[in-house]
Structure 1
């Protein structure tokens, strides 16, 4: 099992385009046994993907050349023993569409503490995902 997390800057997207991304992703991920989470806020994507290494890496190569975003930056990757998001073919989290999963993410981010070196999850890629999510949520709260 393999995972990776990346961050990118979205081109200007409307709700229809975001839904197209989600529908395509969920269909592909279901067919290829990929799970994960996509966060979108204020023109920024953070995505966590997990599955068989070859499939995840091939998908990431396609993601990197997708014209709907740019400045794709790999934050972390590696082998894992088990999935973090085993029931999410591709969960979508956004403050613009609050839901139970978004509230769960806020709870997870809030429970990690302020020290970036202190974490419960031993997987470094998962750690990078939650730290990126925390930074994104902090920027949201600072503007409120």
Structure 2
């Protein structure tokens, strides 16, 4: 099993275009046994992908050349023992559309003191994903306060 985290800057996208990306991702991921999470906020994407290495890396190459975004930066990649998102073909978090993954993701990006004791230590790639997601959500909170 393999995972990968990247961030990118979206070109100007409508809500429908973001929905299309999400639907395309879910369809592709179900067919190719890929799971993960996509965070979209104020024109930025952070995505965590997990599955067979060959498929995940091929998908990332396709993502890199997608014209709907630019500045695609690989944050982390590596082998893992088990999936973090085993029941989600693509969880999705947007500050505009909370969904079934919202509470879980909010917990994962909470300050460490707010997270209950966990018996599983996250792998380095998922730590990188959660840190990037936390930074993005913190920017959202700061903007709301100002």
Structures share a fold, TM > 0.5?
yes
TM-score (norm 2): 0.91
Task: Provide the C-alpha distance between the structure 1 equivalents of 2:87 and 2:103, rounded to a whole number of angstroms.
Answer: 17
Please give the secondary structure, in 2, of the residue aligned with 1:74.
Answer: strand
TM-score (norm 1): 0.92
The equivalences for 1:1-144 within 5 A come to 1-113=1-113, 121-144=121-144
Task: Provide the C-alpha distance between the structure 1 equivalents of 2:87 and 2:35, rounded to a whole number of angstroms.
Answer: 7
Q: Which runs of 5+ in 2 are unaligned?
A: 114-119
Task: Provide the C-alpha distance between the structure 2 equivalents of 1:142 and 1:111, rounded to a whole number of angstroms.
Answer: 15
Task: Provide the C-alpha distance between the structure 2 equivalents of 1:111 and 1:36, rounded to a whole number of angstroms.
Answer: 22
- Please tell me whether the aligned partners of residues 95 and 102 of structure 1 are also in contact (alpha carbons under 8 angstroms): no
Please give the secondary structure, in 2, of the residue aligned with 1:110.
Answer: coil
> Cα RMSD (Å) of the superposition?
1.4
Q: Which runs of 5+ in 1 are unaligned?
A: 114-119
- 1:121 Cα deviation (Å)? 3.0
Number of equivalences = 139
- Please tell me whether the aligned partners of residues 121 and 127 of structure 1 are also in contact (alpha carbons under 8 angstroms): no
Task: Provide the C-alpha distance between the structure 1 equivalents of 2:62 and 2:112, rounded to a whole number of angstroms.
Answer: 32
- Please tell me whether the aligned partners of residues 109 and 134 of structure 1 are also in contact (alpha carbons under 8 angstroms): yes
